[in-house]
Amino acid sequence: MALTETPGAHHRETTPEDIFIEWDVPIEMDDGLLLRADVYRPAKEGRFPVLITYGPYGKGLPFQQGYTTSWEIMARNHPDVTAGSTNRFQNWEVVDPEKWVPRDYVCIRVDSRGAGRSPGKMDLWSARETRDFHDCIEWAGTLPYSNGKVGLDGISYYAMNQWQVAALQPPHLAAICVWEGGSDWYRDMSHHGGILCTFIANWIPMQVTTVQYGRGEDGPRDPNSGLLVCGDEKLSKEELAENLTDLDEQYQQHPLDDEVYRERTPDFSKITVPLLSTGNWGGQGLHLRGNVEGYGRSASSQKWLEMHGLEHWSHFYTDYGRELQLRFFDHFLKGEDNGWADQPPVQLNIRHVDSTFVVRQEQSWPLERTEWTRLYLDADAGTLSAEPPSAAASVGYDTTGDGATFSFGPFPEQTEITGPLAAKLFVESSTADADLFLVVRVFSPEGEEVVFHGALDPHTPVAQGWLRASHRKLDPELSQPYRPYHTHDEIQPLEPGTVYELDVEIWPTCLVIPAGYTLQLDVRGRDYVYPGPAEHLSNMKNPMTGCGPFVHDDPVDRPAELFEGTVTVHTGGERQSHLLLPIIPGA
């Protein structure tokens, strides 16, 4: 019996695994432009739920070819990822159809406007893209083999735009799984605490323009379909540049949280669809904060938060992660009574110093039983203490060096910290501004630092936070003691030599600290650097030196006359600088 065909496909085939594939299906947008999609579906008649992704990474570029070292690490460390699949349809940060189509799902991959085989001007995360994604969802929901329920599932870019499109409330959207996806384009990605992050400037030429539409024969070829990944048309360098909005330049020209970022940041009050937000404890610099914020601020009455570790991409593909996604989507897209309705709202992988994890269910975020504990800085002793020091003291540091260090411990007993952190610091600067880089570190009794394989960097510290002192203004409605929220809507220069009170957000973390270990807070004027050797990923420009690609070294954003000087931290007396820790009793 012939299957119902989707109009306009380049060609079709049925695999030995009974997956019916339609390559390069056209989807018409409201302005007449045709986007291109690959459709993987069961080779049988019926109506099935749809999982759809929309993004710029090239639907025809194999994971193994475009992201060689990432694939090799995952395949080596997690054999369950490659088991049960030929892996020939693996594609960066989206589901493997060989593991989803047999479970009666339709998997659709759409090349976003200007990317892969979809023509047009690429304007990353823009309102234009979000409208395109909305229309793709509605197209998918009305296909003759769709059951009318569409889900969104993907990592990073394919997660971030889920927040945006969900706020538009497309009628056929039934559930979203935001896997490591930032939700605030200013605070999560472009400017950490108001300090420009250079990630986007390096990411675009490494991962985006390499698969931009119009590269023709200069781009790769899909070994499965035989099609050119970047379209058949060959555009000139000038035409390619004209077809790409320079987001890095926009970030540099817009240092405050204005319309550039608001266009890309969703209205959380309009996100009402069932939501599974999954974050990575090691995602410092991108996503981690956004998954937590998106979960907490979204208006959905049916929402869940899951937190894990390991590399950025691994758990999405492991049996642990895939089975979690399946349970969620089987419930909301197929209506299965599979126990998901009884799933606790929070599932945490509790992290230990040996890089092992223990899954634990919770009822809230932050955890209701959290004992919010202040550790006070003492500049004279270089310590953190539960008791505020009575005597005033201060310590200055050169912002080009390793900063000031404050230590607590050794811990008398095993202690768990899980949740968001914050610091209140009283500081003065020798210049009219100061960038504060806060690093929470843990050391063994032998003095070895406890670091983890983060989302990207293999030597990620326990927690980090950032603040540009001239961005110290707080939003009183959104701020919490454990999560100060800065408006980033005006610059308030410092008067050199004057002491200012600063509240610094430190991104969430989780760690069970054994007895005998020491906790340390570094207050620095530059990025954390792990003292060991750097590592490299094939799709990243920066060497991995502790912060991965999320560094803050743009000379225009950080001119020497403002950010190279002396910063002094004041403690004790009337200036009780402190670190706020989320201690979980009974660890």
At position 361, the amino acid (one-letter code) is: Q
Give start-end residues of each CATH 2.60.120.260 domain in the chain: 371-584
Between CA 301 and CA 90 the distance in angstroms is 34
CATH number of 11-179+195-254+313-343: 3.40.50.1820
CATH superfamily for 371-584 is: Galactose-binding domain-like (2.60.120.260)
**244 - beta bridge partners?**
122
Q: What is the DSSP letter of 374?
A: E
Question: Which helix (H) or strand (E) element contains residue 157?
Answer: helix 157-166
DSSP letters spanning 407-471: EE---SS-EEEEEEEEEEEEEEESSS--EEEEEEEEE-TTS-B--B--SS-SSB-SEEEEEEGGG
Between CA 361 and CA 551 the distance in angstroms is 34
Give start-end residues of each CATH 3.40.50.1820 domain in the chain: 11-179+195-254+313-343
At position 78, the amino acid (one-letter code) is: H
Closest CA to 56 of 120, 13, 9: 120
Total-model pTM: 0.96
Between CA 584 and CA 369 the distance in angstroms is 7
Instruction: Answer for the pair 432, 493: CB distance below 8 angstroms, yes or no.
Output: yes
As to burial, measured by CB atoms within 10 angstroms (0-12 exposed, 13-18 middle, 19+ buried), residue 150 is buried
Q: Note down pLDDT in tens along the chain; length 587 residues.
A: 578 889 899 989 999 999 999 999 999 999 999 999 999 999 999 999 999 999 999 999 999 999 998 999 999 999 999 999 999 999 999 999 999 999 999 999 999 999 999 999 999 999 999 999 999 999 999 999 999 999 999 999 999 999 999 999 999 999 999 999 999 999 999 999 999 999 999 899 989 999 999 999 999 999 999 999 999 999 999 999 999 998 888 999 999 999 999 999 999 999 999 999 999 999 999 999 999 999 999 999 999 999 999 988 899 999 999 999 999 999 999 999 999 999 999 999 999 999 999 999 999 999 999 999 999 999 999 999 999 999 999 999 999 999 999 999 999 999 999 999 999 999 999 999 999 999 999 999 999 999 999 888 899 999 999 999 999 999 999 999 999 999 999 999 999 999 999 999 999 999 999 999 999 999 999 999 998 766 777 666 778 789 999 999 999 999 999 999 999 999 999 999 999 999 999 86
Q: Note the helical H segments in 263-391.
A: 288-297, 314-317, 319-334
Question: Which helix (H) or strand (E) element contains residue 510?
Answer: strand 500-513
At position 304, the amino acid (one-letter code) is: W
Backbone angles phi, psi at 314, to 5 degrees: -65, -55
Closest CA to 425 of 480, 504, 493: 504
Between CA 479 and CA 275 the distance in angstroms is 24
In 117-211, beta strands by DSSP E: 146-155, 173-179, 191-192, 195-196
Between CA 275 and CA 294 the distance in angstroms is 10
Between CA 85 and CA 322 the distance in angstroms is 13
